[in-house]
Every structure is written in structure tokens, then in C-alpha cells.
Amino acid sequence: MNFSGRSFHNLIVFVFFIFLRLKRWLIMMYKVIIIGGGVNGTALLCALSIYTDVKSTTLIEKCPDQGLVNSSPAMNSQTLHFGNIETNYTYEKVKKVKRYR
């Protein structure tokens, strides 16, 4: 979809209006409402279901599937991280620690 600035604004206002109408109903239905089905939202939902006694949760996602925005591989910078270039320690500190292992 291609929205102009004004029509996109109108769409956002409309969606927000619908959300306000549904908010009271959602709050009465669910103890926990998670907004966003990316890595953090789904991890939170999983943790709540395993480690708490909360029985009524819902996850609201704007896309047709989970993890399509920031959690998507297409949103990655496609940089390879080999692990040998990123360290919290200086080379001298690493040598010293390795000696005492």
C-alpha cells in the first residue's frame, strides 16, 4: 500500500480510535496485553506462560505474522560477526587470563 501523508495520518487516527473503543474490552478480558510479536514480545509471552500463573494473555501484532519488522533477517545489517574482533578485554588481559587457565 502506498499512502500519502494525509491519508496515512487519517488511517492512524482511525486505528487509534478503534483501539480506544476496544481498549476497555481488552482490559476487561485479559490480565496482560503484549503489543508486538517480534523477538521481545514473543519471548515475554513465553516467559509469562511458563513462569507465572497469569492465565489470560494476548499478543497484538500489526503485521500478518510475527517477527516481520525489526526481528526480520531482512532488517539485519547483514554483517558477519566472527567473534574474534569484538572483545571487552585488551590483548594483554586475554593473555594473562589464558595463562591461569
Mean pLDDT, to the nearest integer, of 4-13? 64
Domain ranges in the chain are 1-27, 31-70
Give the residue with greater pLDDT, 41 vs 91. 41
Q: What is the 3-state secondary structure (H, E, C) of 50-95?
A: HHCCCCCEEEECCCCCCCCCCCCHHHCCCCCCCCCCCCCCCHHHHH
> How high is the pLDDT of residue 50?
92
- What integer pLDDT is reported at residue 78 of this predicted model? 54
Cα separations (Å) of 23 from 15, 20, 30, 40, 69?
12, 5, 10, 22, 24
Q: Please give the pLDDT value at position 19.
A: 73
Q: What is the pLDDT of residues 16-75, one digit of tens each?
A: 777 777 777 777 788 888 888 888 888 899 999 999 998 888 888 887 777 667 666 666
Smallest Cα–Cα separation from 34: which of 66, 57, 65? 57
- The confidence score (pLDDT) of residue 74 equals 66
30's grid cell: 485479559
